[in-house]
Chain A
Amino acid sequence: MKRQPNQLIGLALVLLLVTATLGFAGGRTETAAAAGDVIAIEYWDENNQHGIFDANHPQSVAFAEQFGIVWESPMVSWNGGTDYLQQLRLRIAAGDLPDIFMPWGGIEQELIDNGAVADLTDLIQEEMPAFYSNVAPEIWDFIRSLSPDGQSIYVLPSVQFTPLGGMIRGDWLDRLGLDVPTTVDEYVEVLRAFRDQDASGDGNPNNEIPTSGREGGRWMDHLFAPFGIAMVEGFPEWDIYDGELQYSAVQPAMRSAIEWIRGLYAEGLLDPETFINTNQVWMGKITGDLVGSWYHGTHWSPARFTTLYNAGVTDVRLDYLPMLSHPDYEGFMTTTDYRRPGYVFGAHMTEEAIRRTMRAIEFVNDPATIEERNIGYEGVNFLIENGQEVRLSTADFLALGTGYRPALGAQLLSDAETTIRTNEFQMSLLSGPDDPSYRAVDNANRLIAAYSQDTVRSIAGQFLPPSIYEGYPDIRTHRLFQEYVARIIVGDWEIDRFDEFVERWYRSGGREVTERAQAAYAALQ
């Protein structure tokens, strides 16, 4: 029987569909293969800061020559860490880990306990001597405590300098003839002036938002700090209260802080939309010349500065808002020497691959190589035209909100000095104070310098293993705190309900988690 042509086409289509269905369900395609003696390294972290780069990227090409590795960072959606974690868990489930990656959400403990990541103990001092010696011994002690024998190193810690602090619009203060406030009372007066007068100078005295924060009560730490609340990016942290390690959210000081902020909200000094502000909306208000003071990374401020400048606010100036003193409390700005786990190496990597990768990471983090790194890479930081080095514009870096990045990725170590030096190097490439980028970076350096002089303290709870939260997801995510803080501040609930929160927090697992945290803390001491 002769087949009809349309039947054949139909059959082909069916086969195509079946193959496609099976194909999509199949494993991932190989992203990189070792070429010659060069080893491909798939590298994952929150690449929203440095973007994606592949084997053809100038830095990857340079690394291939310098260290014998091809550095590839594929696009991994971040979304506050949730998308990243989801994709990482997918790769774990498939038994196909990236070569080196940043653990997130406390997953490092699970990885170590299950032997999924490589033991770096024997290699680290050999291959990364500068990094090893520049990280404080107590941080290494903590890193070792994560291992089953308490002696091994599985994680490279991130100890990046992160100057998160309060900022206030200096040009607004100038316009109203006010000084930078230093006490909570002065701050309230300034906020009132922002609310009542045309601080932004746009002719409308009613559109200023004196201060703002983000959903979940996040990114408004400058309002909690005067009360001595340990808090990082809006998440309450663990510190010593009454001589014991405790969760800062359930302390009487927190009640006072919430009560004070509630008053600000009622007076219209805190953005009424604070608790529904997403990152984008909040940022849009700041760069829309609407917000008078906020809390964020002072080192990230050039992006805000230039956006404001380009929108026509040519006299923009950001002043550092110091930790506001309070008559009844000893306040401080929270910081952690140990930021987070930096990178782990997949257990599937060969020793040679680990060694070479370590050498690259050592180079990227060694304070001695900063000048070399500042020069950067051809095609990224400069071009060669007619035999002359032509520096690329820094506007792209500023637009990314990251400042000038001498090398891409795997940055774990920095301090105030190296940050300021890198910024100064960047300024030296610019024409001078007439250039808005120059002014933005200069402004950031002043903020960073002021931050370094402020009452900033490392908290006792920075070295807590993620395992203390096991079985208590709501405690880990601060869910109960976020619900109560929002509803009390907006006036839905009376301040008395704070006591109910404390009681509920302890009852829903807070007691067990506190015991575990105290035991872990005692063990490290």
Chain B
Amino acid sequence: MSTNVGTPTVPLQPVRTRRPRKRRSTTMRKHRMLYFMVIPGLVWFIMFRAIPMGGILIAFQDYNIFRGFLESEWVGLKHFRYLFQYQDFYRVFYNSMIIAIQEILIGFPAPIILALALNEVRRSAVKRSLQTVLYLPYFFSWVMIAALFFQIFSMNGIVNQIISAFGGDRVLLVQREWFFRPMIIISGLYRNSGYGTIIYLAAIAGIDPQLYEAAMIDGANRFQRILLITVPSILPTALVLLLLRIGGLMNFGFDRIYNFLTPMTFGVGDVFDTYVFRVGLTEGQYSLTTAIGLFQGFVAFGMVWVVNQMMRRQGGGLW
């Protein structure tokens, strides 16, 4: 027997509620100090982010610094054609991508692992000292870090002294092509990993302690607690940071590469940023360098979009 209780089906419609105008203005008035505090940020954003976006147009001009934007000649896609025809374009593109991808694969998980490890340090004094030591390199400039690395790997540096003590031949690693990318990644780990833990430690601090207590009662060991409670809890934070990082993929940081780059490592280390520096500064080719910047932006946007789509399928994503 089947009973069909006829329940009238009413199609679900969003209930449109209009906030009374009065209420919104009241809220604004009530929190006006907060709104005021937004103003400097907004001004900054408009002045240094929104208005300069107009500058993208010079990628389509033969921009002349003396004549200015309005009087420079429009040349369409000339600079993009030049860029793609540049004989080292694919080398520069490949180098930029390889370094960026390596950086994400190795540099991105590093602070997470470090934060998980730091979180397990129980003695507060030890933990704080460790954190200070780990944060410190972030405040060193790349010039300093490059000098430090060049010193460590110099002919009389500590690495060669160790090699020599074991009877090996001294070797100048910093001028070996194969060593360039590992050196960039390692120096990045040294400088950024510690500082990168801050957000993750904050996320970990926000996890409900009851979860851990419950897990302990259920007999979960420390490793299981990390894997089953801590990691899933900070995953949303990690994914957002991953997306942001991919957005900045092509803007790897000029000084980070430039300070390590020598003519001997051009083959593997010449990236868009160093190319822009060479062309933009020595030649004053603003249009071409803007075109390169725009191209980098498109590539980065494409990557963010792809990764975001992937995340959405997993129920996450930024939008």
A-to-B contact residues, CB < 8 Å: 7, 10-11, 14, 17-18, 21-22, 25, 82, 85-86, 89, 92-93, 105, 107, 110, 114-116, 215-217, 272-273, 275-276, 470, 473-474, 476-477, 479, 482-483, 485-487, 490, 492, 507-508
Contact = CB atoms under 8 A, between A and B. Distances in A.
B251 interface: no
Contacts of A474: 88, 278
Given A92-B65, A93-B65, A22 B282 contact: no
B264 A275 contact: yes
A487 B264 contact: yes
Contacts of A85: 281-282
B279 A483 contact: no
A105 B266 contact: no
Interface stretch (B15-23, B171-179, B241-249): B171-179
B33 A10 contact: yes
Pairs of residues from A and B, 8 with the lowest C-beta to C-beta distance, nearest first: A114-B66, A482-B263, A17-B40, A473-B283, A483-B263, A486-B263, A14-B36, A486-B264
B65 to A, nearest CB: 5
A522 to B, nearest CB: 25
Contacts of A487: 263-264
Contacts of B37: 10, 14
A202 to B, nearest CB: 15
Nearest to A217: B263
Interface string B136-169: 0000000000000010001100000000000000
Interface string B20-37: 000000000000010011
19 contacts: A10-B33, A14-B36, A17-B40, A21-B43, A22-B43, A25-B47, A89-B284, A92-B65, A107-B284, A110-B66, A215-B262, A273-B155, A276-B174, A276-B175, A476-B282, A486-B262, A486-B264, A490-B264, A508-B87
A490 B171 CA distance: 11
Point out which of A92, A93, A105, A276 has the most chain B C-beta atoms below 10 A from its C-beta: A276
Interface residues of B, number: 35
B133 interface: no
A18 B46 CA distance: 12
Contacts of A490: 172, 175, 264
Given A85-B281, A490-B175, A276 B262 contact: yes
Given A110-B284, A477-B278, A507-B87, A276 B150 contact: yes
B285 interface: yes
Contacts of A116: 66
A469 to B, nearest CB: 8
Nearest to A509: B87
A105 B87 CA distance: 23
B267 interface: yes
Contacts of B174: 276
Nearest to A105: B282
Contacts of B267: 483
B39 interface: yes
A474 to B, nearest CB: 7
Nearest to A215: B262
B44 interface: yes
B123 interface: no
Contacts of B285: 473
Contact of A272 (B36, B39, B172, B284): B172
Contacts of B281: 82, 85-86, 89, 105
Contact of A89 (B36, B65, B175, B278): B65
B264 A273 contact: no
Given A216-B262, A474-B278, A508-B87, 10 more contacts: A14-B37, A17-B40, A82-B282, A86-B281, A114-B64, A215-B263, A273-B155, A486-B264, A490-B172, A490-B175
A327 B263 CA distance: 31
A216 B36 contact: no
Point out which of B44, B66, B88, B264 has the most chain A C-beta atoms below 10 A from its C-beta: B264
Nearest to B147: A278
Interface in B279-296: 279, 281-285
A276 B175 CA distance: 7
Contacts of A217: 263
Contacts of A110: 65-66, 284
A115 to B, nearest CB: 8
Interface in B59-81: 64-67
A478 to B, nearest CB: 9
A276 B177 CA distance: 13
Interface string B164-208: 000000101011110000000000000000000000000000000
A462 B281 CA distance: 23
Contacts of B40: 14, 17-18, 21
Nearest to A115: B66
Given A14-B40, A276-B175, A507-B87, A492 B66 contact: no
A22 B47 CA distance: 9
A77 to B, nearest CB: 13
Given A21-B47, A276-B175, A479 B65 contact: no
A32 B155 CA distance: 51
Given A215-B262, A276-B175, A479-B263, A18 B278 contact: no
A477 B263 contact: no
Contacts of B264: 275, 483, 486-487, 490, 492
B262 A275 contact: yes
Point out which of B47, B266, B267, B285 has the most chain A C-beta atoms below 10 A from its C-beta: B266
Nearest to A86: B281
A470 to B, nearest CB: 8
B169 to A, nearest CB: 11
A273 B154 contact: yes
A235 to B, nearest CB: 13
A17 B41 CA distance: 9
Contacts of A22: 43
A132 to B, nearest CB: 28
A481 B2 CA distance: 88
B175 A114 contact: no
A273 B264 CA distance: 12
Nearest to B44: A21
Contacts of B283: 470, 473, 476
Contacts of A93: 65
A80 to B, nearest CB: 11
B266 A272 contact: no
Contacts of B278: 473-474, 477, 479
Nearest to A280: B147
A381 to B, nearest CB: 36
A473 B279 contact: yes
A294 B278 CA distance: 29
B43 A18 contact: yes
Contacts of A7: 33
A7 B37 CA distance: 11
A114 B67 contact: yes
